């Protein structure tokens, strides 16, 4: 899909449980009705679930230019020039996916994933209710003497690697995997 914006967009943009990947950035200048001009940023944009696999990200980027398998197959079979451009486009899609997922150890990948996990207060409460921990968390908050803990619970959205979440995780004795599961569940709450 094409995206147009009056300002420059980041390559990777997480919106709720969706990841928007903006690429092939161009500037477009248009005359406005007053005889002046306006500058717009245009992008090709791919949208996938934030939890999508690398292969799914690559295929989503490919579908921006080649919306069906038949169109992509025709591009590959239509001769050297078109086939070469197809290969370059696929290489770009792979690079965008690799940049999103990064390279390194499994722990590096988990750390990057955790850094991106953010949920609203509502999403967090639904997940805690699902895992039967909402009453326990609310009791922990009520007993806390730290005003920042109470304020974070009442006002903030929740980031997986925030100090508040680490404090709650420690007090409840939750493993990293358990907490990851809760955040993964919360992302899907609308």
Give the integer Cα–Cα distance in Å for 112 and 160: 11
Give the integer Cα–Cα distance in Å for 3 and 19: 14
Q: What is the pLDDT of residues 20-65, one digit of tens each?
A: 999 999 988 888 788 888 888 999 999 999 888 889 999 999 999 9
R_g of the chain computed on alpha carbons: 22
Domain range for 155 is 114-187
Number of folded domains in the chain? Answer: 2
Which one of 103, 127, 146 terminates a domain? Answer: 103
Q: What is the pLDDT of residues 66-89, one digit of tens each?
A: 888 777 777 777 765 555 577 788
pTM: 0.52
Phi (first) and psi of residue 171, to 5 degrees? -65, -30
Which one of 103, 123, 143 terminates a domain? Answer: 103
Residue 108 located in a structural domain:
no
């Amino acid at each position: 899909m094409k995206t147009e914006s009056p300002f420059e967009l980041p390559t990777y943009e997480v919106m709720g449980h969706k990841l928007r990947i903006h690429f092939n950035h161009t500037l477009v200048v248009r005359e406005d009705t007053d005889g002046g001009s306006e500058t717009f940023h245009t992008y090709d944009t791919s949208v996938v679930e934030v939890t999508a696999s690398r292969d799914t990200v690559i295929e989503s980027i490919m579908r921006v230019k080649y919306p069906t398998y038949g169109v992509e197959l025709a591009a590959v079979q239509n001769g050297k020039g078109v086939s070469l451009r197809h290969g370059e486009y696929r290489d770009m899609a792979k690079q965008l996916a690799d940049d999103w997922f990064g390279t390194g150890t499994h722990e590096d990948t988990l750390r990057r994933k955790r850094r991106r996990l953010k949920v609203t207060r509502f999403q967090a409460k639904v997940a805690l209710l699902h895992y039967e921990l909402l009453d326990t968390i609310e009791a922990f908050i009520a007993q806390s003497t730290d005003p920042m803990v109470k304020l974070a619970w009442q006002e903030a959205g929740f980031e997986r690697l925030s100090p508040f979440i680490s404090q709650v995780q420690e007090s409840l004795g939750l493993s990293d995997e358990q907490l990851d599961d809760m955040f993964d569940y919360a992302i899907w709450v609308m």
